[in-house]
Structure 1
Amino acid sequence: MKDNFSIQAKGYSQYRPHYPQEMVDCILSHTKSLDTALDVATGNGQVAVMLSGYFKDVHAIDISSNQLQNATQKTNITYTEQKAEATNFKDSFFDLITVAQAIHWFNFDVFYKEVYRLLKPDGIIAVMGYGLFKTNSATDRIISRFYHDILGPYWDGERNYIEENYKTIPFPFEEIYPEKQFFNEFTWSFKQLKGYLETWSAVQHYIKENGSNPFDLIEESLKETWQKSDKRVTFPLLLRIGKM
């Protein structure tokens, strides 16, 4: 698994969007027991925190110690620095395994072998994510140019899995289809918009290669359109649920 997010761990914690309660409710409706859950590549712990309100024990792992240092603490969440593909947990230990906005970075075959080892016989895996957000048309045009033209060469190839709505990832489970398409809507200040865009892995790759922040190329025009808009953003959410 690649570590593209240690550098901007604090920004990731502050600006990455959360998942709606109704999406978590959908996952929980297919979970047979609420004893133990594992959140893989937990980042700032946002999904682990949501799960902690339901499960007796939640384990959350990430390969980035910087991310874990910025994670939200709860008494029933145990954070550890571990690889998704090789954990130290017992066999058949978890009722639910979640992966949010990260599975495209994994070695699929090795990770899924680990999932089969870790899940209880009636356990569930839920793969979550979100695509490119939409907002007002003027801002969307600037974001599209930023995403495709400015950052295009700096995206990792794995980004294609998100653009394909996770439909093309291997998923060797009996699939449970959600009853609806989920979305998440926010009203953002310009600071939040900027903060989120600067968490993109391609932005960090650009900075590393060029020594400058690509956001500077769009900041003034983006600010102008944002000030004239209703400041609403809508994320299409990705969800695949499976059982063994």
Structure 2
Amino acid sequence: MADPSRNFGEAAARYTAFRPDYPQEIFDFLLAHVTSGRLFAVDLGAGSGQATRNLAGLFSNVTAIEPDGRLVEEARLPANVKIELKAAETAEFAEASLDAVISATAFHWMNQALVCKNAACWLKTGGAFFPFAPDAFQVAGDASDYFTDEFDKWRPYRDRRLVDCYDYEAALKESGVFASVLPYRQTLRHQLPSAAAAGLISTFSFARDYARDHGGEDYFQSVKDTLTRFGETVTFIVPIIGALGVKA
């Protein structure tokens, strides 16, 4: 099976159309622990820019690090964002030059120990590294059993990093490079029209890999048709997990 972390760009338009924006509370948590200033910030694994746009409204200068140019083309980023097409592990910034580094739904795909070490080097005293991501979702209401059955089909296609590398708090603590590590957790409810719910599912790497072997776009059309029969909207219950490391 192909490495899904290399294939996100093929779904770039889907990410832009269907991935919801991150809530402001996430960035409020970041700002509450950044005491170095709001001059320079970096988004590692920026993808189609959902979190980058938030960051650009809070910091004067933002750099989006993303290896797949197809995703960046869909991002529509503000003028104060600089784009660098490279992997997070190869990014380079001057020591003690950044106020914040984030990674939104991407840290589990990275060499976590190396990224932690690099981020701690780049940060100013009082700066923070904050990776966060949605955890396994649930679906409320009549569609719940249907999603449980579909997830059982997707499960063999889930990359092990989606299981083994999701303890962000442990990764930051084990790195030993931050003065303190604070856990973050929030639960969101997204109520989406049936078509948008089916579109969101089509952005999941494991669902796309399953679809490649089971009808391609016809599979996602069947998901959309089934969800429509359940009603006009689908409610996703999504835990957001994360951890924030502070530079002493």
Q: Where on the TM-score scale, by shorter chain, does this alignment land: which range?
A: 0.7 to 0.9
Deviating more after overlay: 118-127 vs 166-175: 166-175
Specify which of 92, 116, 124 is matched with residue 120 of structure 2: 116
Q: TM-score, normalised by structure 2?
A: 0.86
Greater shift in the superposed pair: 120-129 or 200-209: 200-209
Counterpart of 1:221, as a letter, is: T
Residues in 2 aligned to 1:19 and 1:212: alpha-carbon distance in whole angstroms = 29
Q: Percent identity?
A: 23
SS of the aligned residue for 2:9 comes to: coil
Q: What residue identity is the alignment partner of 1:215?
A: F
Contact 2:172 2:245 in 1 (8 A): no
Who is 1:221 aligned against? 226
Q: Which runs of 5+ in 2 are unaligned?
A: none
Residue deviations 1:23-78, cap 9 Å, x none? 21111111111010001101111111111112110111111100110112211111
SS at match of 1:143: helix
Note closer, same or farther for the CA distance 1:221–1:168 as it changes in structure 2 (3 Å cut).
farther
1:16 alignment partner in structure 2: 19
Residues 117 and 165 of structure 1: CA distance in aligned 2, closer, same or farther (over 3 Å): closer
Q: What 5-or-longer segments of structure 1 have no aligned partner?
A: none
Task: Give the distance between the partners of 2:136 and 2:220, measured in 1 at CA.
Answer: 16
Instruction: Write the mapping of 1:83-122 to structure 2, written as runs, cut at 5 A.
Output: 83-122=87-126
TM-score by structure 1 length? 0.88
Equivalent AA in structure 2 for residue 5 of structure 1? F
CA distance in 2 between partners of 1:170 and 1:52 (Å)? 24
* Alpha-carbon distance in 2 for matches of 1:170, 1:25: 20
How far apart are 1:136 and its partner, in Å? 2.3
In angstroms, what is the RMSD of aligned CA positions? Answer: 2.2
* Alpha-carbon distance, 1:175 to partner: 0.7
**Alignment of structure 1 residues 11-160 onto 2, 5 Å:** 11-32=14-35, 33-147=37-151, 149-160=152-163
Question: Which one-letter code corresponds to 1:225 in the other structure?
Answer: F
Which residue of the partner structure matches residue 205 of structure 1?
Answer: 209
Higher helix proportion, which one?
2
Going from structure 1 to structure 2, the CA distance change for 1:217 and 1:165 (only over 3 Å counts) comes to farther
The AA in structure 1 aligned to 2:74 is N
Q: Sort the Cα spacing of 1:140 and 1:4 in 2 relative to 1 into closer, same or farther, 3 A.
A: farther
Q: Give the number of aligned pairs.
A: 238
- Of residues 163, 169, 176, the one that matches 2:182 is 176
Q: CA deviation at 1:137?
A: 3.3
- 1:193 maps to 2:193: no
How far did residue 226 of structure 1 move? 3.2
- Displacement of 1:166: 4.0
